[in-house]
Amino acid sequence: MKNEIGVIFLVTSVFTSFLLGYSLPPLLETGMIGGRGQVKPAVVEPQIDEQLEEYYRKLLEQN
């Protein structure tokens, strides 16, 4: 009985370790684990010049 429980525990731990081995590298690369993801990227504001504004005004007038 003790031997069967040990085998079940061993198979479960090997399978769990296998899954962790596949899930941790992407998390480390993206910075979700390890603290690299704490810095938020800068937001780039779109720059609209007068010609582009005029283009969109004409589009609104057509509809």
Q: What is the chain written as a DSSP string? A: -HHHHHHHHHHHHHHHHHHHHHHHHHHHHHTSSSSGGGSPPPPPPP---HHHHHHHHHHHHH-
* Portion of the chain with pLDDT greater than 70, in percent: 81
Half-sphere exposure of 18 (CA within 13 A, CB side): 6
Is the pLDDT confidence value at 37 over 60?
A: no
- Average pLDDT on 1-24 reads 90
- Give the pTM: 0.44
Domain of 26 in residue numbering reads as: 2-62
> Which pLDDT belongs to residue 33?
72
Whether residue 16 has pLDDT greater than 90 = yes
When computed from its CA atoms, the radius of gyration of the chain, rounded to whole angstroms, is 27
Per the structure, the count of domains in the chain is 1
Rounded to the nearest integer, the mean pLDDT of the chain is 83
Residue pair 12/5 in contact (Cβ under 8 Å)? The answer is: no
pLDDT above 80 for 48: yes
